[in-house]
Amino acid sequence: MASVVASSGKIESIFFSMFHLTEGPKIVLQVPEEIITKETFLSHLHKYVIPKKQLYRRVIRLHSQGHMIIGYPILVEGEQFERNEIRFNCCFVLNSHSDGNNYENVVRKVNLYLEHETFHGFLLNEKNKENITKLLTTVFNDLNKYGRCNYIGKANSSTLHLQIDAVTDEKVVVNNYDVPVFRCSSSPSLLQSCLLAHADLVAKKIIPLINGEWSVTRIGHEADISVDIVKDCIKKLVYHGALLLVPLFQYSNTYVVTPKIHELYNDASFQERCIRHSSITNKRATFNDIFIFYTSMGPTSRLKDACLRLNPRSKNIDEKKLIQFGLVEGLVRRLQKYPLKLVDDQNMEDKRSDAMEECMNGSNSYDEICGRFNLAFQELDERVENNPDVVVYWK
């Protein structure tokens, strides 16, 4: 988690500001003090930190004197407040070159927590300044040191869980048709438990649905969460090494072994892990049968052909688990089909291709085309076979 803090930039200060009935906007508390001075605040920051009503419940970001200030102003209305309302904003101060995107959710959660506490008199009592100072100090120290914070309120009355969003590598691409699997094939349940212990609410709905069989789209549907949000969550987990993306399991897929198969043949502990993962529940396969099955797959046959020929279930082998283990450990890889439409230049104007055929340019796989147009593999196969201008190559 320290790498997350380093890449996001450390918090320089956290300050709590309110609209005072006689003094106007002011900084009530700051940890550590004087990073944002009273003069700086009153000269040009106050009208943005405690803004007009249209800007409440929105993330605000300011740049001033080498600092980036991120806030989430709150307006709470009620008869228990003087003038029937209270306005405040707990802001984080970072270096102006930091990636503030990673702190936006944290800032939002802190302010929403304070809003919840406001209804219990948390901000109305002068004696509660001590509690607010404790909150700001705990959040400041823990987020800078660990990248996360678990704050327990007075008398265990409330809790606040915070975690800095991970900085993800833009090279990590998650597609709708990808299937996420836990990278730790030897103990996926243990890895899942560890992830859930530190997950936010969205991740806690997504992680239990990662079973090595469901695609990103299916997980989003089952969790009733937008696919884009699911992809963002999985992207972070892939970047940090918890998940691996594999192709959707289908008996029509074609797999080939990699040079790493030699490691499996020579490593007894590797073999034992493979047996435990790939055997039918409450039964045990032999390594000899597993190795024969792996090496029987090749570019000229589908997985279905290997299953019909060797009948893995009769040998206590779960072919789905075996393929998943092979993909995660790098023992096998899937050969992808890429359709390419050949167009005669003389007849180009007469052959107007539809949107799908435009994707048949040799760079889009069957997975990508089926995912984009919501097609089954068999449907796309039939379309390709019935079009004499389309050829298929494998890689």
Number of Cβ within a 10 Å radius of residue 84: 10
Could you give the angle at the alpha carbon of 369 between the alpha carbons of 363 and 371, nearest 5°? 135
* Threshold 0.75, pTM exceeds: no
Separation CA 209–CA 200 (nearest Å)? 15
Query: How is residue 119 written in tokens?
Result: 């209804």
SS3 string, the chain, reads CHHHHHHHCCEEEEEEEEEECCCEEEEEEEECCCCCCHHHHHHHHHHHHCCCHHHCCCCEEEEECCEEEEECCEEEECCCCHHHEEEEEEEEEEECCCCHHHHHHHHHHHHHHHHHHHCCCCCCCHHHHHHHHHHHHHHHHHHHHHCEEEEECHHHCCEEEEECCCCCCCCCCCCCCCEEEECCCCCHHHHHHHHHHCCCHHHHHHHHHCCCCCCHHHHHHHHCCCHHHHHHHHHHHHHCCCEEEECCCCCCCEEEECCCHHHHHHCHHHHHHHHHHHECCCCCCCHHHHHHHHHHCCCCCCHHHHHHHHCHHHHCECHHHHHHHHHHHCCEEEECEEEEECCCHHHHHHCCCCHHHHHCECCCCHHHHHHHHCCCHHHHHHHHHCCCCEEEEEC
Distances (CA, A) of 240 to 18, 132, 324, 329, 379: 38, 33, 20, 17, 37
Domains belonging to the chain, first-starting first, are 2-163 (3.30.450), 179-245 (1.10.10), 254-335 (no CATH), 337-394 (no CATH)
At position 263, the amino acid (one-letter code) is: E
Please answer whether residues 244 and 238 qualify as being in contact, where contact means their C-beta atoms are separated by less than 8 angstroms: yes
Nearest to 194 by CA among 246, 242, 162, 230: 242
Query: How is residue 18 written in tokens?
Result: 């309110």
Please answer whether residues 11 and 93 qualify as being in contact, where contact means their C-beta atoms are separated by less than 8 angstroms: yes
At position 170, the amino acid (one-letter code) is: E
Distances (CA, A) of 243 to 158, 327, 328: 32, 12, 9
**Residues in the chain with pLDDT < 50?**
1-4, 6-7, 345-352
Separation CA 230–CA 211 (nearest Å)? 15
Nearest to 379 by CA among 368, 388, 392, 370: 370
Separation CA 45–CA 217 (nearest Å)? 44
Number of Cβ within a 10 Å radius of residue 309: 11
What does the pLDDT read at residue 283? 93
What does the pLDDT read at residue 196? 75
Query: How is residue 130 written in tokens?
Result: 């001590």
Nearest to 317 by CA among 295, 296, 290, 344: 290
Nearest to 58 by CA among 17, 7, 98, 108: 108
Residues in the chain: 395
Using the structure block, give the residue that is written with the tokens 């039964």. 283
Distance of CA 153 to the CA centre of its chain: 29
Nearest to 71 by CA among 56, 91, 47, 41: 91
What does the pLDDT read at residue 260? 94
Q: Number of C-alpha atoms within 13 angstroms, CB side, residue 306?
A: 29
